[in-house]
């Protein structure tokens, strides 16, 4: 069955008693046992909930994994994965990284003796230099990265990791299993901030983990249940409802993003556009090989940092807001929002500077999005030219 059909049918054939096409929300936290030593398969909802179970089975199938685990947020999913590691363990992590992941690693995990080294995870020599024999346990990859859209060759790095028995963990938030399936390329764990594209409507907070292999899946089940940062049944249902339309949405996000990126490339106030769907992207070939499509996220740099504030003030259809992956278009200023927790020297090293804007391109008509960008850029340019910048 094609992935479009699997998505549309999530939960629709899982309720045998009533035949409900939309799987019901089961709020019960406790379940009757038929007799001593017998169970319906459900005992306590933290361990297993009927609604959440349908979601978890769906994401495991979509990612071609063996275990699926729904968490209360993307950060909760990361924390659950990091519980695999112990004092003295070391991780190699993508240099261009979501600020929340960096904060969790540097301000929380270091308290437990787990450390990280940040490198370009597509560079084997950099990985070799970062590797610490006896203590390095995993490679954590964002691909594409947020916000600079750097690409890591998942198959190449997974093969490298297996040579030294390291886990390969891939954040697949920006592409989803509709466009990219890391486990098929050799990764051990795929993770999602399901708040983003999988939910798709900016109305549910969730994280998902998919594991490959029986042993790792059993260990993740233990951690998921023991830590307890599980997704509630109502949010599980909302997430499943969003996922049913994922194929249609991702196709529209990509269509719009390509055209917006092409527009920005030609604009006189824009100096760089970061989008792997463009042929000019340095990793376009790798991206095309390991995925069947492109994200709706792009970033761009304006020629003068003074343009940022008026652009964010003048956009109308596009909202100035954090987050990404919803049907509505959102623009974010990474240096002071999503990546504020990353030290200035690291931001400077990767290029997350005060001229960079990230654009989560929604599913509105692309001509309306370009028109909104055009008028905002024009007005911002006029303010700079006339020296009439508003001092906020």
Q: Which residues are catalytic?
A: 46, 98, 171, 196
Q: What is the 3-state secondary structure (H, E, C) of 254-319?
A: HHHHHHHHHHHHCCCCEEEEECCCCCCCCCHHHHHHHCCCCCCEEEEEECCHHHHHHHHHHCCCCE
| DSSP strand pairing (67-71 vs 136-142) | unpaired
Rounded to whole angstroms, the Cα distance separating 345 from 330 reads: 27
Quick one: residue 58, left, alpha or beta (phi over 0 = left, psi -120 to 50 = alpha)? alpha
How many residues does the structure list for the chain? Answer: 392
Q: What is the 3-state secondary structure (H, E, C) of 20-48?
A: CCCCCCCCCCECCCCCCCCCCCCCECCCC
For every residue of 320-366, DSSP letters joined together read E-S---SSS-EEE-TTTTTTTTS-HHHHHHHT--TTEEEEE--SS-H
How far does CA 330 lie from the centroid of its chain?
15
Angle at CA of residue 221, ends 217 and 225, nearest 5°: 170
């Amino acid at each position: 069955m094609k992935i479009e059909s699997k998505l549309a049918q999530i939960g629709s054939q899982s309720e045998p008693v009533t035949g409900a096409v939309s799987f019901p929300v089961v709020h019960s936290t406790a379940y009757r046992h038929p007799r001593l030593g017998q169970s319906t398969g459900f005992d306590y909802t933290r361990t297993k909930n009927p609604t959440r179970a349908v979601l978890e089975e769906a994401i495991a199938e979509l990612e071609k994994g063996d275990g699926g685990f729904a968490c209360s947020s993307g950060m909760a999913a990361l924390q659950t994965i990091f519980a695999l590691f112990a004092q003295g363990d070391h991780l190699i992590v993508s240099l261009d990284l979501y600020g929340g992941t960096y904060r969790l690693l540097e301000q929380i995990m270091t308290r437990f003796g787990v450390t990280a080294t940040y490198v370009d995870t597509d560079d084997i020599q950099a990985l070799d230099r970062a590797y610490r024999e006896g203590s390095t346990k995993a490679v954590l990859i964002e691909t594409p990265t947020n916000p600079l859209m750097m690409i890591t060759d998942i198959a190449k790095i997974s093969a490298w990791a297996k040579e030294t028995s390291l886990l390969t963990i891939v954040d697949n938030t920006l592409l989803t299993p509709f466009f990219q399936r890391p486990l098929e390329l050799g990764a051990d764990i795929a993770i999602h901030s399901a708040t983003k594209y999988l939910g798709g409507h900016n109305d549910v907070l969730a994280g998902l983990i998919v594991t490959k292999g029986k042993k790792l899946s059993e260990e993740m089940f233990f951690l998921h249940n023991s830590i307890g940062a599980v997704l509630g049944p109502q949010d599980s249902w909302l997430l499943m409802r969003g996922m049913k339309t994922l194929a249609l949405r991702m196709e529209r996000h990509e269509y719009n993003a390509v055209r917006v990126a092409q527009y920005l490339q030609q604009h006189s106030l824009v100096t760089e556009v970061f989008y792997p769907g463009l042929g000019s992207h340095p990793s376009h070939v790798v991206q095309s090989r390991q995925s069947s499509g492109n994200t709706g996220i792009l970033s761009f740099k304006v020629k003068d940092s003074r343009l940022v504030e008026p652009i964010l003030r003048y956009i109308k259809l596009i909202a100035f807001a954090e987050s990404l992956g919803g049907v509505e278009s959102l623009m974010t200023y990474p240096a002071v929002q999503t990546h504020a927790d990353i030290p200035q020297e690291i931001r400077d090293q990767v290029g997350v500077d005060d001229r960079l804007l990230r654009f989560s391109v929604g599913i509105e008509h692309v001509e309306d999005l370009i028109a909104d960008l055009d008028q905002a850029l024009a007005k911002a340019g006029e303010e700079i030219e006339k020296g009439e910048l508003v001092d906020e």
